[in-house]
Amino acid sequence: MQHLDLPDPTADTAVRTGGCLCGALRFTVAGEPDDPHVCGCAHCARRSGSPFQWWTSFPVTGLSWTGEHGEPTWYDTHPGKTRRGFCSRCGSHVAALDHGDPAEVGILVTALDGHRDDPALIPLNPNRLNEAASWLAPAPTRHQEPIDVHLLLRRDGPDGPEVLLSRRSGAVYATGLLHLPSGHIDGPHEDAVQALLREGDEETGILIDRTDVRHAVTVHHRSPGGAARIGLVFEVRRWRGEPAIMEPDLCDAMGWYPLADLPAEVVAYCRAALDAYRDGRHFAVHFQEPGDAVAFDPAADRLHTLPSTDTGADADGPGPAVREFAERAVGRIASWTDVSWARPGSRVWRAIGTEGGQWYVKVHRGARFHQREVGAHRSWVPGLGAAAPRLVAADADLWTVVVTALPGRSLHGAVHPPEQQRAVFRRIGALAAAIHRRPSTGFDNTLHDALEKVERHLDAARAYLAPGDADFVRALAACAELLQEPETVFTHGDLQLRNLLLDGSGELYVIDFERAQPGPAVRDFVRLADVWAGRPDLLEALTAGYGRPFTAAELEYLTVLEALDAVSGIRYGAATGDPEVLERGLRTLARLRTTARAAARQEGTT
């Protein structure tokens, strides 16, 4: 396999210049424009005094301010979210930047030199012209998005399936990154398969027969800059000729890569399609957020796949590689049932063997989650005995595990009388004590990771926060470093009701160890605290089962972790449309602030 040295994404790309009306503000931008469009929103119109504006985006890494004024004067037109840059002398608007660490900079096309004669700047679509002046805006038009076709050439390699990736170069978007050979449908005269055959010939020199084309995945993608498109990915396993670089001005390297071990330097859009394909899913949504990188970033994986509605017996089973791995571990499987949690990235099936056995097959969202779950199963989880599943098999390349099935039903949404609730919480406390029994020498980055993300999460959750919420969270974060460092133990990492099973005899079981890592014991009570809120009897039952009450230092640490988790949950719930997680975060913040105000009043009277 060919290994590639990847260059700076903005090196050897087209460079454009521009500036303001008076010339004091000058700039250069490297790279190809992304999503040139006209915007007629009321915000742009009022700010500019024009019925619409002409925008495009460039990689922010290729932006340089070269004039005597240096950077423009910035004004937050969307406070905390987006700022616009203008010349303080003549008032010309030239740019827009999102707060945080944006991947792209918005540039007003009219600020670019030679914009009238540059075909790459022709607007691809109108944006919100229905808000513009009535004499300008036509009847509401239908939203339109470009269609891409992607060629997924697949061959059998020594370590499993391999796919062909080419490295983009020159004056193209995402230059320097790996991508499937791809292109746009030329027009209404060309169907998607014809476009694929043409692109395969133009980019790689191979010839493909139409009958050898198979649909693999459809991806609805949105770039960090906000432009959306539909990607049609087609698998081809048979072709004529050897793939070669046919467009050296657009591609400077090409190589085969194992599907189970893709390199990091892949366009996030392409990586989403390949991950969905590997998992046997045929439709995926990949909507990136402002500030996301163009390259794949496992910490900002936006992939959300949907199951098939086919009626065949194996319609919702995993892809062939996962199916084969599971059957090597437990024998032939008669039926698969998709039991994934209704949230992005959750991929779990109940597998029933031909002999009647039952297992769960789980595909993790990434290597980190896989390593955590497998590491826990191979170290401290066996110490829980029958209260936890047993690891049957694991495959690091597929990020997949097979575990034994446990009896019982999830406590999520279950309703029990108060006495039984207290009994359940005593068992939860005892189970938590068993998990925390052994100290861990591993590195605890629980608080550090949460604090690093707090401003980003606050910014994303801003629309949902009550007045004072952000200041309250920042104040807790500022005090966090002064807290006493608790003992580091093995933790489950996601100990909440949906990961706890209760059987008919009252026995309790715990599942799902993909977030397991060393940390303070109270880390495992962050989400359970929302359940015992207002129910001191449940907290008393839990600590009775745990064998001791929480110390004052642990309660302070728990409060900080709860607040940070609440903001993270609000951001996640808003971004993924998960109302339960969103509501839990809002409820937790409101409760913590109420408790803090009551404590402050109590201190004021003593």
Average pLDDT taken over every residue of the chain: 87
Q: What is the pLDDT of residues 295-314, one digit of tens each?
A: 998 888 899 888 765 433 34
Place of tokens 């075909």: 119
DSSP letters, 39-85, are: E--HHHHHHHTSS-EEEEEEEGGGEEE-STT-SPEEEEEETTTEEEE
Count of C-beta atoms within a 10 Å radius of residue 143: 9
Long-range contacts of 438-441 (CB under 8 A, 24+ apart): 438/380, 438/383, 438/489, 438/490, 439/487, 439/488, 439/489, 440/488, 440/489, 440/490, 440/518, 441/488, 441/518
Query: Minimal CA–CA distance to 303: which of 272, 339, 332?
Result: 272
Greater confidence, 113 or 281? 113
Q: What is the pLDDT of residues 199-256, one digit of tens each?
A: 999 999 999 999 889 999 999 999 988 889 999 999 999 999 999 999 998 899 999 9
Count of C-beta atoms within a 10 Å radius of residue 170: 15
* Per-residue confidence band for 131, with pLDDT thresholds at 50, 70 and 90: low
* Per-residue DSSP letter, 9: T
Q: What is the pLDDT of residue 346?
A: 67
Q: What is the pLDDT of residue 576?
A: 75
Query: Minimal CA–CA distance to 525: which of 440, 383, 428, 387?
Result: 428
**Does residue 573 carry a pLDDT above 50?**
yes
Q: Mean pLDDT throughout 533-542?
A: 95
* Per-residue confidence band for 334, with pLDDT thresholds at 50, 70 and 90: confident
What are the φ and ψ backbone dihedral angles of 402, each rounded to 5 degrees?
-120, 125
d(CA 497, CA 424): 11
The b-or-e profile of 42-58 (16+ CB within 10 A means b, else e) is eebbeeeeebbbbbbbb
% of the chain exceeding 70 in pLDDT:
91
d(CA 364, CA 346): 7
Residue 268, helix vs strand vs coil: helix
d(CA 94, CA 285): 33
Place of tokens 């998960």: 578
Contact (CB, 8 A) for 179 and 143: no
Instruction: Please report, as a single letter, which amino acid is at residue 322.
Output: V
Residues 6+ apart with CB under 8 A from 398: 260, 278, 321, 322, 325, 363
Rounded to two decimals, the pTM is: 0.53
Rg of the chain over Cα atoms, rounded to whole angstroms, equals 27
Q: How far is CA 174 from the centre of its chain?
A: 19
Q: What is the pLDDT of residues 14-23, one digit of tens each?
A: 899 999 999 9
Instruction: Please report, as a single letter, which amino acid is at residue 78.
Output: H
d(CA 402, CA 66): 58
d(CA 149, CA 232): 5
d(CA 68, CA 354): 76
Instruction: Please report, as a single letter, which amino acid is at residue 258.
Output: P
Contact (CB, 8 A) for 527 and 566: no
Place of tokens 């900080």: 560
Q: What is the pLDDT of residue 299?
A: 83
Contact (CB, 8 A) for 545 and 470: no
Q: What is the pLDDT of residue 386?
A: 96
Handedness of CA 180, 184, 188, 189 (dihedral sign): negative
Q: What is the pLDDT of residues 380-430, one digit of tens each?
A: 999 999 999 999 999 998 899 999 999 999 999 899 999 999 999 999 999
* Per-residue confidence band for 136, with pLDDT thresholds at 50, 70 and 90: low
Contact (CB, 8 A) for 210 and 198: no
- Helices 552-576 and 446-461 meet at what angle, rounded to 10? 40
Query: Minimal CA–CA distance to 263: which of 277, 279, 274, 247?
Result: 274
Q: What is the pLDDT of residue 526?
A: 94
Instruction: Please report, as a single letter, which amino acid is at residue 487.
Output: E
DSSP H/E element including 446: helix 446-461
The b-or-e profile of 267-305 (16+ CB within 10 A means b, else e) is bbbbbbbbbbbbbbbbebbbbbbbbbbbbbeeeebbbbb
